[in-house]
Structure 1
Amino acid sequence: MPETIALLRIEGVNFDASVTDTNDLSTVRGGSFLHLDAIKAVKAMLERCQASSPTSPIGTLKDVQTLSEGASIGLFRLTWTEPPLLQKVCATVAGWLDGRGQKDLKDAKLDTQHRRILARARFATFVVDIVQGTGEDAEAFITARENVIAANRWRQMQAPTLVPVKAERADGRSARDRVCSFDFVRPGSLKQEPIKGEVRSISRSVFLRRGYGLRRKFDLYAEVLKRAGTSLPDQRFDDYARNFEEIAGPGDKGFPLSGKIAVFYADGNAFSRIQDTAVRGDFEPDISGDPHECQRCYDERLRGWRDRLLAAVVDRLAACDVGVRPNGDDKRKCRLRLETLIWAGDDGTWVVPASFGWTLASTFFAETLGLDPDSGRPRADDGWRLRGSKGECQLHHAAGLVFCHHDAPITRIHRLARDLAEHAKKVDRGRSLLAYQVLESFDHIGRDLDGFRRSRCPAGMRPEEMLIDGATMAGVPEAMASLNPEMGPRMARRQVKRLALTLHERGAGGEAEALEKALLADLKADGLQDQVAALHRCFGDGPALWLHLDDLWDFLVPRKPTTAAGGSACAPTA
């Protein structure tokens, strides 16, 4: 009897109702990591079914291959020795995620940790679909994969955005007290939970996600760094920042950065197209084999890059003074001031102190483009680059960076960072571009981001000219440190402010041009040509340079070594 081969695809959807539906940091983190871990739990269950075949709940499963394992997406190639009823397989796997299949998990002796993860997954929205046949050639495989993705999309459109919950029995409380005080949508639990010393009504969904987020953050970094082949020595820090206020700290240059954070979001450009190119074998011998094997190798390469990227970010943050403790308070525990909100297949969101925001973005692009993060020169490795007999391909990202106060609504700030990345993506997908926004208040932007950015440009300038090439960001804070009057009698803030105001009011040329020439002449007379060249390389030669400096003056802060023991924050494991 011929074997039956099929593609099974699982995806977590409707994040607005299961991840970013509250402004509570731990709940957002818990929802995000729960999607990540649910895919791993399903993978473990499929492997248990293979081990227990033919008595498994999905038939005589001969082989399980994980082709793709992103944040909320799992793509599996399943092989049966006897033809299964595919719709039953699909319903069974969906039951593991929505709470109906708990008996299957217990009977398969799935470990307790994975069972607990899947028990919490019922409060998220997962779509599960399966298509038979994966094709013998690349085009047939891509067609089968696109068919199962289309089935996921169709199922998503038919499913409720918000997972319905069981109605609570009235207990005499007011309607306000029976509504979850975090998401303001779901009914609050009859048992009110004390949160930060305050008794608040909380829904079961938020309660479980919040608890998961509180616990999971402490081992996520250790797992990723272990896979990347690095570890964190204990003397660097004792703990992790618990909330955005601890990340912000009292400010690292005094008042201008007091209570400020930076929210950084990045998303891959055309990764799906590059994935198809890899499946077709265009990157042999770098990625080679049957189409499904090429798919697996591409995904494995991407996950390895992501692990090393996070290791580089943690290493760089932990090695500088601002990264390991609130500035000016040595008596408190040293805590790593980093928050990972989203950690997905080709996108991610991090929150750091405002003074580290530029360095975070610069480190991200240096790691992905294969550049030295300090000098910007090419490294020995290629970064995120694929090579093959038919050419090579550099993987690029679009990113958004928002500087704001720590108590700004995180869901809206995260959405703004994503919109900024989309703005950069629309301009050029063949480069790694950054769009940033400095917020004093959030309400003035409104919903029309493109219109707002146009209104901020002087006459004759387009918003595209205010984008930053990620390959040119290295060395800018150090150049600014040499030009800043705090380091000596150099360039005064009022001079830059005056030039930027003149550009906004009267446009380029005329008075603005005269001010620019006088300012540049003074800087060159002081022997600062190299520092000026670094700024020109990043911000351009036109009016955009002065507009960027006016916006980013307080945020271009060079790193200072940590006061902890010397050496790199990440040490190779034995």
Structure 2
Amino acid sequence: MGKKGKPNKKSQSQKIGSVSASAGQTQKGGTSQAAASPSPKNPPTNFYLRVEGLNIGAVIGDTDQLSVARGASFLLREAIHDVQSMLPDNTDVVSAGASIGECLLPGMDQARVDTVVSDIGNVLNNTTKPYRHLSFGVCAEGYTPSSGEIAVRERALARIRFGQMRSPTCVMPAENQDPSLDVCAWEGRRAADAAKPVRRDGEEDIHVSASVWDRWRRGVDRKQGFYRDEANLTPQHPAYGFGYSRDLGDLARESRAGNLNGKVAVIYADGNRFSRIREEICRTFKLLKDFDTTIRNRRSAYLSDLLEVMAGDDRFQMSDSDGKRRLRLETLLWGGDELLLVVPAWCGFDVVQHLFTSFEGWQHGRLNLTHSVGLVFCRAKTPIQRSMTLARQLADGVKDRLKAQATGRDEAQRLASQLKNRFDYMALESVDFPVEGDLTEFFARRYASVLSIRRDLTPDPSWVQSRTGLAVFLNQFPKAQAYRVSRAAVASNWGSQAPDVTAYRKAIERMVAVTRGRGLDDASAVLDGVFNAAAQLKIDGAEIPDPWAWIHLVELWDYLCPTLAEMAQPAAVVAAPVAGDVP
């Protein structure tokens, strides 16, 4: 382990620079401050204030330590709330998200607003607060109601983006004057200058940078309280007395889980076109505030409901040696349009279905509020940044395809046609981790021509009932036959020019013979709804079953609806299909 870290005695205060009188931006430390426009002939007395966390990936994605990532997320949220709590009493809070705060400052002159903005910078850059490790943009823009409320918001956003492009991606630490300091053990770039090491039971001290230490400490300290506060838990709530898993190894450790022991499900959900919906229906600050309140209240209700489900399901629970009950849940991102959860692999598919069910029918104004979700099954030891990135890529791919498939005579109709709940998945233990930045190439290589008829998965609104029938089917159907069919599907030619699906047809015929005719009917009754598969496809004038129901079935077999009792039983291991397999 590296040498003991010491605080840098020559650290300089990262105080924010003063606002200049002309358009531009100044920055010292991590907080940038957009300068005000030249004073107009009739100076405004109303101001729009925006505080935004910037370059979030630099503080959430620079280590593989969950507590560090979680702590950065908590600090971003807390900074927004701290800033809003120090504003004048007549401040109207428009939005308080995971990393963005928007407020209205009425009845102020330019000089007073400049002081407010400077004070905010002093708080965010204060060397006694951990916010100094994060990047923020702060901008106050004057406006009059007649000038358009949305226009002033866009001007402030443009100023912050302009400043962001002129600033470093990460907050530079103070110059290290101590050559004896080792590099940060977790982050690998900054000096290990934290005043204290990270101490864990039974392990050597871990020497890290001040930035990493502050984020780690906040992630550890605030984890338990986050769920209580965000879900508004009261003593009457079923989850009130529970603790939460300490780390991913803790979360995924379950001897009764069979081959899923030590595996997790990483779930990333992002709202579909929420920003565009804001532009479409939130033409005033009041409407914008209503929209923000709608999102926060619905997200809070969802978390409360999820915790209630977990508190009533043994699969989500674990016990400490002292008998303390804990829920197997990790939240790495929460707020605004997106969330990122980690749960045991044996609960992942259920949690995704529950998420969609919880938000089913959600609307604001005349538009549906929907999500695209990426679901990754992997080992708990998989670097969390890799699995988080992959989950985001899967969700982004869903969003891109929804946009590409948009229909309608005008922009409003095309927008509405994209607002659908969809998800995609990947099980990493059955495939090599894709190194491509774009998953399109990876999927094309893996699935060959059958990819051309693939559709993103649609949530099952009747999942609770479907799960029962699916469990019976999986218990009775021969997995080897499902594998044979899916492997033949990938090996066949599904191209529009001269398709040849002979191998797939033969595999279906063999499966029907082995199952004495029941396999195909049973599968169609159960799988079509779960996997959004077409009941039949027409190839060369003849109907055949949709191959993707079988491919999804094989890849997700172990994850669809396991119980701890069932998982404890030995099971045959059958690999997922890949292009080039011969049936």
Q: Distance in 2 between matches of 1:299 and 1:346?
A: 10
Deviation at 1:521, TM superposition (A): 7.8
Partner of 2:314: 321
CA gap 1:458/1:365 in 2 versus in 1, 3 angstroms: same
2:191 corresponds to which of 164, 187, 191:
187
Partner of 2:249: 245
Where 1:404 maps in the other structure, the secondary structure is strand
CA gap 1:30/1:523 in 2 versus in 1, 3 angstroms: farther
Partner of 1:293: 286
Contact kept? 1:402, 1:438, Cα under 8 Å: yes
Contact kept? 1:94, 1:127, Cα under 8 Å: no
1:488-547 CA deviation, whole Å, 9 max, x = no partner?
Answer: xx2111111111222222346323223335546877966996774241013203110010
Deviation at 1:551, TM superposition (A): 0.4
Task: Decide which moves more: 25-34 or 127-136.
Answer: 127-136
Is the counterpart of residue 515 in structure 1 residue 507 in structure 2? yes
Q: Distance in 1 between matches of 2:194 and 2:110?
A: 48
| 1:140-219 equivalence runs, <5 A | 140-170=148-178, 173=180, 178-189=182-193, 191=195, 193-196=197-200, 197-219=203-225
Task: Decide which moves more: 452-461 or 441-450.
Answer: 441-450
| 1:113-152 equivalence runs, <5 A | 119-133=129-143, 135-136=145-146, 140-152=148-160
Contact kept? 2:47, 2:108, Cα under 8 Å: no
Where 2:463 maps in the other structure, the secondary structure is coil
CA gap 1:194/1:150 in 2 versus in 1, 3 angstroms: closer
Contact kept? 1:194, 1:200, Cα under 8 Å: yes
Q: Distance in 1 between matches of 2:373 and 2:529?
A: 19
CA gap 1:492/1:237 in 2 versus in 1, 3 angstroms: farther
Partner of 1:385: 363
Q: Distance in 1 between matches of 2:392 and 2:78?
A: 23
CA gap 1:44/1:190 in 2 versus in 1, 3 angstroms: closer
Where 2:186 maps in the other structure, the secondary structure is coil
Contact kept? 2:334, 2:340, Cα under 8 Å: yes
Partner of 1:265: 268
Contact kept? 1:323, 1:336, Cα under 8 Å: yes
Partner of 1:287: none
Q: Distance in 2 between matches of 1:338 and 1:460?
A: 36
Partner of 1:480: 470
Task: Decide which moves more: 333-342 or 514-523.
Answer: 514-523
Q: Distance in 2 between matches of 1:42 and 1:267?
A: 26
Superposed CA RMSD in Å reads 2.8
Q: Distance in 2 between matches of 1:298 and 1:313?
A: 23
| 1:151-550 equivalence runs, <5 A | 151-170=159-178, 173=180, 178-189=182-193, 191=195, 193-196=197-200, 197-226=203-232, 232-233=237-238, 238-250=242-254, 252-254=256-258, 256-280=259-283, 291-325=284-318, 333-369=324-360, 382=361, 384-387=362-365, 392-428=366-402, 429-440=418-429, 444-447=433-436, 448-462=438-452, 465-471=454-460, 474-475=463-464, 476-485=466-475, 490-507=476-493, 509-517=501-509, 519=511, 532-539=524-531, 540-541=533-534, 542-550=546-554
Specify the code of the residue in structure 2 equivalent to 1:163. Answer: V
Deviation at 1:37, TM superposition (A): 1.1
CA gap 1:523/1:467 in 2 versus in 1, 3 angstroms: farther
CA gap 1:473/1:170 in 2 versus in 1, 3 angstroms: farther
Deviation at 1:338, TM superposition (A): 0.2
Task: Decide which moves more: 434-443 or 340-349.
Answer: 434-443
2:107 corresponds to which of 80, 83, 86:
80
Contact kept? 2:194, 2:213, Cα under 8 Å: no
Q: Distance in 1 between matches of 2:194 and 2:267?
A: 38
CA gap 1:230/1:253 in 2 versus in 1, 3 angstroms: same
Specify the code of the residue in structure 1 equivalent to 2:310. Answer: L
Where 1:74 maps in the other structure, the secondary structure is strand
Where 2:102 maps in the other structure, the secondary structure is strand
1:72-125 CA deviation, whole Å, 9 max, x = no partner?
Answer: 00011111254435444433322221117xxxxxxxxxxxxxxx7xx1111100
Where 1:198 maps in the other structure, the secondary structure is coil
Q: Distance in 2 between matches of 1:36 and 1:251?
A: 37
Task: Decide which moves more: 475-484 or 333-342.
Answer: 475-484
CA gap 1:500/1:525 in 2 versus in 1, 3 angstroms: closer
Specify the code of the residue in structure 2 equivalent to 1:269. Answer: N
CA gap 1:149/1:190 in 2 versus in 1, 3 angstroms: closer
Where 1:163 maps in the other structure, the secondary structure is coil
Contact kept? 1:4, 1:80, Cα under 8 Å: yes
Task: Decide which moves more: 309-318 or 296-305.
Answer: 309-318
1:309-362 CA deviation, whole Å, 9 max, x = no partner?
Answer: 111222222221110117xx9985421000000002010000000011001110
| 1:51-90 equivalence runs, <5 A | 51=89, 63-84=90-111, 86-90=113-117
Contact kept? 1:180, 1:188, Cα under 8 Å: yes
Q: Distance in 1 between matches of 2:516 and 2:229?
A: 49
Q: Distance in 1 between matches of 2:159 and 2:188?
A: 32
Specify the code of the residue in structure 1 equivalent to 2:363. Answer: R
Deviation at 1:548, TM superposition (A): 0.2
CA gap 1:500/1:302 in 2 versus in 1, 3 angstroms: same
Alignment identity in percent? 30
Deviation at 1:560, TM superposition (A): 7.5
Unaligned runs of 5+ in 2: 1-41, 403-417, 495-500, 535-545, 566-583
Task: Decide which moves more: 313-322 or 513-522.
Answer: 513-522
The alignment's TM-score, normalised by the length of structure 2, stands at 0.78
Deviation at 1:194, TM superposition (A): 4.3
The alignment's TM-score, normalised by the length of structure 1, stands at 0.79
Specify the code of the residue in structure 1 equivalent to 2:71. Answer: G
Q: Distance in 2 between matches of 1:239 and 1:394?
A: 35
CA gap 1:441/1:518 in 2 versus in 1, 3 angstroms: closer
Contact kept? 1:262, 1:402, Cα under 8 Å: yes
